[in-house]
Amino acid sequence: MSMNEEKTEFRPLIVAFCCNWCSYAGADLAGSSRLSYPADVKIIRVPCSGRVNPMFILRAFERGADGVIICGCHPGDCHYSTGNYYARRRMTLLFSMLDYMGVENGRTRVEWCSAAEGVKFSNTMNEFCEKVKSLGKSVRLGDIRCKD
């Protein structure tokens, strides 16, 4: 046992929801510009940040995600005009509720990222991974109804 003391680095599981028009394209630009960020981030393409149902986020945390980030077009630039405004309210309330239940604010994030902001996309993901890493493994939301 004592031989295996060397700690394996904690690798967080991070789910990113990216809208098709701005942030997914921003992620593509980060890619074609070879701007790296940790492989811990896995992107799910959605048409709009307004498509992100709170259920998806709860699902991710329930299944063991350590962080969830939603990226959309900048306010005012939504491909569908208003989707990100509704997303902003929905996520503000959901994240606050998650924090209230013990899933810290640092594990959830909304970032507006345009198709031209490859650098911002990469920086955001690096930052977010660092933050989640510093928080460590998340409580497993799926256990909220099971007593120890």
Partner 1 sequence: MQGLIDRLTALLSDGTVARVIGWKKGDMAYNPEPHMFETAESLKDFVYDGFCGANLSKMMIEASKLEGKTAVCLKPCDTYSFNQLIREHRVVRENAYIIGVGCRGKLDIEKIKKGNKGITSISGTELDGSDDIKIETIYGDKNISYKDALLDRCHVCKGKDHMIFDEVWGESKDTADQERFAEVEKIEAMTPEEKFAFFRNELSKCIRCNACRNVCPACSCRKCIFDNTKFDAQQKANVVSFEERMFHIIRAFHVAGRCTDCGECSRVCPEGIPLHLFNRKFIKDIDKFYGEFQAGKDPEAQSPLTDFTFEDIEPGERG
Partner 2 sequence: MQRIGVFVCHCGTNIAATVDVKKVVELVRFEPGVVFADDYMYMCSEAGQEKIIAAIKEHDLTGLVICSCSPRMHEKTFRACAEKAGLNPYMVEVANIREQCSWIHKDREEATEKAVILARAAIAKVNLNTPLQEGESPVTKRALIIGGGIAGIQTALDIADAGYEVDIVEREPSIGGRMSQFDKTFPTLDCASCILTPKMVEVNQHPNITLYTYSEVEGVSGYVGNFDVKIRKKARSVDMSACTGCGECQAKCPLGKMGKIPSEFDRGLRTRPAIYMPFAQAVPAVPVIDRENCTYFKTGKCGVCAKICPSKAVNYEQEDEIVTVKYGAIVVATGFDIINLDKFGEYAYNESPDVITSIELERLMNASGPTGGHLERMSDHKQPKDIVFIQCVGSRCDDEKGKPYCSKVCCMYTAKHAMLIKDHWPDTNITVFYIDVRTPGKNFDEFYRRAVEQYHVNYVKGQVGKVIPQPDGSLLVQGVDLLDNKQIMKKTDMVVLAAAVEPNKGVRKIATMLTASIDNNDFLTEAHAKLRPVESPTAGIFLSGMAQGPKDIPETVSQAGAAAVKVVGLLAKDKLKTNPCTAKCDPMFCNGCSTCANVCPYGAITYEDQQVRGPGVNETRRVAVVNNALCQGCGACTSACPSGAMDLQGFSNRQITTEVDSICR
What residues make contact with partner 1 under the rule CB under 8 A?
54-55, 58-59, 62, 75-76, 82, 85-86, 88-97, 99-106, 108-110, 139, 141-147
The interface partner of residue 126, options being partner 2, partner 1, none and the CB cut-off 5 to 8 Å by kind, is none
DSSP state letters, 48-59: -GGG--HHHHHH
CB 103 within 8 A of CB 139: yes
Q: Collapse the DSSP code of 148 into the 3-class scheme (helix H, G, I; strand E, B; otherwise coil) and give the result.
A: coil
Instruction: Give least dist CB 45 to partner 1, A.
Output: 17
At 59, the amino acid letter reads R
Distance of CA 10 to the CA centre of its chain: 17
Q: CA separation (Å) from 41 to 82, 102, 111?
A: 27, 22, 14
The interface partner of residue 123, options being partner 2, partner 1, none and the CB cut-off 5 to 8 Å by kind, is none
CA distance 51 to 8: 36
Instruction: Give least dist CB 70 to partner 1, A.
Output: 8
Q: For 133, what's the count of Cα atoms within 13 Å in the CB-facing half-sphere?
A: 13
| Binding residues with partner 2: total (CB under 8 A) | 53
Binding flag, residue 99, partner 2 (CB under 8 A): no
The footprint of partner 2 (CB under 8 A) covers 13, 15, 20-22, 24-25, 27-28, 30-32, 34-37, 39, 42-48, 50-56, 59-60, 63-65, 73, 76-83, 86-87, 90, 114-117, 122
